[in-house]
Chains A and B, each alone.
Chain A
Amino acid sequence: MFKKRSLAAPYLVWMVAFIAVPLVIVVYFAFTDKTGAFTLENIMSLGMYTTVFVRSILLAIVATVVCLVLAFPLSYMLSRMHTSTQSMMTMLVMLPMWMNFLLRTYAWMSLLENNGLINRFLGVFGIGPFQMINTSGAVVLGMVYNYLPYMILPLYTIMVKIDSSVIEAAQDLGANMFSVLFRVLIPLSMDGITTGITMVFVPSISTFIISRMLGGGSNLLIGDLIELQFLGNSYNYNLGSAMSLVLMVIVLMCMSFTTADTEEMEAMV
């Protein structure tokens, strides 16, 4: 028993040094001023940035919902496929992740531009041009494109475990499509759904490069705001830490909500 535990030591050291200690430092900076004295000033001044916080949360929620709606049927389809096809299809899902994140986002920039590929293609048929880049829609698109695999993979892994006979049994007992979906499929894949939601929502709410490239720099998100504190004129790491702290609390709230859900579901089963 002891031996097994000691195997985790390297990770424990890693976690303390690179996760726990930095977290403490962030909290420390968030509640102190430049001289190191305790202050609530940093947190209180965040009220001025409410619109940015609301926009970030909203865009992240929209991106998460879109990801879920897209990923759920796809993952179900994947999990019902022949095993050999499944491995190939999961590889296709992962394929975009082989490319650099910045490059992918940059590519979307040249696709969506007014003189970009999509508008030029539509122009052939005399449609458009549509204003697509530099809108919040483009930011959501960037999030969905970049984080969709993180929704598909957990959903897929949980769905392959659902036996087809369970679904057949439900149908035998006279359940229509909606009942099968809401009373069998969704409850059984709840673990995957919550993991997927966390894995899409968290990076979406903290991203800054997507909003800069696709949002034209005017759809400021929390991530941009934090970056501005460190790489802006004032180098105000205290305010930056306070923003990070609020972001962490938002994420924590989201995670507590989703994990509570799974426990409930487990209790129900």
Chain B
Amino acid sequence: MKKIISLTLALLIFAAAALPSFAEVDVKSGYDYTRFKNDKITLNVYNWGEYISNGNDDSVDVIDEFQKLTGITVNYTTFDTNESLYAKLKSGGGNYDVIIPSDYMIGKMVKEDMLAELDFANIPNASLIGDSYKKSDYDSENKYSVAYMWGLIGIVYNKTMVDEGDLAEGWGLLWDEQYAGQILMFNNSRDAFGITSMLIGSEINPTAQAEIDACAEKLKAQKSVVQAYVMDEIFDKMGGGEAALAPYYAGDGITMMQDNPDLGMFIPQEGSNLYIDAMCIPKTSKNKQAAEMFINFMCETSIALANAEYICYSSPQIEVPALLDEEYSQNPMMYPDEDMLSRCTTYSVLSDEINSAMDLAWSEVRSFDTSGNGWLMPVALVLMLAISIFGFVRKWKKEHRNDY
């Protein structure tokens, strides 16, 4: 069976190469995509890694289609965390026209006046974005961003290692002694604290030091059962059966499940974090209109559908779910019911003090060592003593030698 598939794929690739390429996506009429055709514009798009349909596995090559349609050259680069995107923009390195950060980072950028106000006359397709993804906490007047994808955080588990009856424990499963040494945890303070706050029932967006301390205590207690703090290494470790449980983003979890049928995923009953990644234009952009054209293109039904199918994240575009394969549109991990959604919260911008407190608490959690703390200092002391004794002995020897 596999052979037939690969043979078909090979033939398809061959056919695609042999045929002259033509734009195959249909876009809504009434929008002039060709008005910058002769302006030789280069658009710098900065997106998460693996976060767009790129033509692999017979999918639509979105960037390529856009270039063919508009004559605009796209310089597409990727980042791996919101924080590295922020650091890059803040330090003035890189001139980007379209960026796709997450909710709380958009809020932070709005607060620091880093984003340009969008001209929605150039983005008519923004009307296709569901109302619940507009006027959000991070962009209260819906002036700076157009939602691209959203999703929830769930727990990925290995069916052969985890008793499915235990799933009722919810987030507490990640603290379960029974699975000591087989649990992976986010290596990212915001998500780690977010999960913990859902477990102990405090605010997901902490406003006081006491809430941070409570979460940090809980995270320290978890440390003895955690195998490792990881991010994308999860794909390898869960895929290879190295760990039994790991919290991760639902879209990536679905990708993992497709690769390893032993894996399952669920959203704990306590609720979860709902994250939204949205397209924005930095203030420094020199091609704002072309950037708005790109955003409009990304909201086209055919393009949004192609992206949603390829990356397995949930699309905020209202026409997409109906067109998706049932395997996706009926998947509670991707499009959960209202009841679950009502229990999910979005991250908002934290104050500078809370951010610093969280980072400090997080490094404390990670350097806190239940077993090693005892021997660390004595060994250091002994070593330093040994070095000084060595120094003295050498000196003494040298003086002795000079006696001859």
Binding site for B on A (CB under 8 A): 48-49, 51-52, 54-55, 57-58, 61, 109-110, 113-116, 131, 133-134, 136, 212-213, 216-218, 220, 224-225, 228-236
CB neighbours (8 Å) of B362 from chain A are 228, 232
Alpha-carbon distance between A52 and B81 when the two chains are bound, in angstroms: 24
Kindly provide the distance from the CB of A43 to the nearest chain B CB, expressed in whole angstroms.
Answer: 15
A236-B369 in contact given A58-B379, A110-B236, A216-B228 (Cβ < 8 Å): no
A217-B189 in contact given A54-B380, A230-B87, A233-B359 (Cβ < 8 Å): no
Q: Which are the 4 A-B pairs with shortest beta-carbon distances?
A: A217-B229, A216-B228, A234-B355, A220-B367
Alpha-carbon distance between A225 and B366 when the two chains are bound, in angstroms: 10
Contact of A228 among B227, B233, B363, B376 (CB under 8 A): B363
Alpha-carbon distance between A236 and B355 when the two chains are bound, in angstroms: 10
A61 touches B383 (CB 8 A): yes
Question: From A268, which residue of chain B is reached at the shortest CB distance?
Answer: B398
A114 touches B242 (CB 8 A): yes
B83 touches A52 (CB 8 A): no
Q: Classify the secondary structure of B's interface with A.
A: helix
CB neighbours (8 Å) of A52 from chain B are 363, 367
Contact of A57 among B81, B229, B230, B380 (CB under 8 A): B380
Contact of B369 among A48, A114, A218, A224 (CB under 8 A): A218
B330 adjacent to chain A (CB < 8 Å): no
Alpha-carbon distance between A20 and B40 when the two chains are bound, in angstroms: 40
B360 touches A58 (CB 8 A): no
A235 touches B86 (CB 8 A): yes
A-B pairs under 8 A by CB, number:
95
A236 touches B363 (CB 8 A): no
B352 adjacent to chain A (CB < 8 Å): yes
A213-B367 in contact given A54-B376, A233-B358 (Cβ < 8 Å): no
Binding site for A on B (CB under 8 A): 81, 83-84, 86-87, 90, 181, 187, 189-190, 223, 226-230, 233, 236-237, 240-242, 350, 352, 355-356, 358-360, 362-364, 366-367, 369, 372-373, 376-377, 379-380, 383
B242 touches A113 (CB 8 A): yes
Contact of B363 among A49, A115, A231, A235 (CB under 8 A): A49
B376 touches A58 (CB 8 A): yes
CB neighbours (8 Å) of A224 from chain B are 366
A218-B380 in contact given A113-B240, A225-B363, A228-B363 (Cβ < 8 Å): no
A228 touches B359 (CB 8 A): yes
Alpha-carbon distance between A52 and B355 when the two chains are bound, in angstroms: 20
CB neighbours (8 Å) of A233 from chain B are 83, 189-190, 350, 355-356, 358-359
Given contacts A51-B369, A233-B350, 4 further A-B contacts (CB under 8 A): A49-B367, A55-B376, A114-B242, A228-B359
A58 touches B363 (CB 8 A): no
Alpha-carbon distance between A54 and B381 when the two chains are bound, in angstroms: 10
Alpha-carbon distance between A175 and B237 when the two chains are bound, in angstroms: 56
B230 touches A217 (CB 8 A): yes
A58 touches B81 (CB 8 A): no
Q: Considering residues B240, B358, B367, B380, which has the most beta carbons from chain A within 10 angstroms of its beta carbon?
A: B367
B229 touches A218 (CB 8 A): yes
B228 touches A217 (CB 8 A): yes
A220 touches B190 (CB 8 A): no
Kindly provide the distance from the CB of B35 to the nearest chain A CB, expressed in whole angstroms.
Answer: 38
